[in-house]
A = this chain, B = another copy of it.
Amino acid sequence: MLSKKTKYGLKALTFLATQEGRVPVQISEIAQHENISQKFLESILLTLRKSGLLGSKKGKGGGYYLIKDPKDIPMTTVMRVLEGPIAMVPCVSLNFYEKCADCPDEASCSVHKLMLQVRDSTLDVFRNNTLADLVPLRG
């Protein structure tokens, strides 16, 4: 299951990507527009800022804004920041690898074999999408 944190984070990023230029947008505006609990969104935007995807400006006229062009933000990066590992099992994770305690041999593990394929296909999707691809075309 995709966590609400990730879901809200994606929506917030998409919303910021639709803004003209890099004008700071207030948390309250994003929260209202996307139907998100404002306080919860605060912590999510904080995470995104710390990861380098967003910048922030304090005081009047402040808010959050994208640092890079949406076209240059691959979904692999976004997903790893928000959701963590892309793989369903640590033993097939590229960035969060961990050996299974119970499994004596990865090469002959049926779960490993299957989950490797899932990881690769999911990774393909995220690599082929940038934040710009998520923005709906305006009619």
Query: A: which residues have CB within 8 A of B?
Result: 1-2, 7, 10-11, 14, 34-36, 75, 85, 88-89, 102-103, 108-111, 113-115, 117-118, 121-122, 124-126, 129, 134-136
Contact = CB atoms under 8 A, between A and B. Distances in A.
* Main SS at interface, chain A: helix
How many copies altogether?
2
A2 B108 contact: no
B115 A136 contact: no
A35 B34 CA distance: 46
Nearest to A115: B2
Given A35-B103, A121-B124, 4 more contacts: A2-B89, A110-B136, A117-B129, A121-B125
10 contacts: A1-B85, A2-B89, A2-B111, A14-B110, A34-B102, A117-B125, A118-B122, A118-B125, A121-B121, A121-B124
A74 to B, nearest CB: 12
Contact of A11 (B11, B85, B111): B111
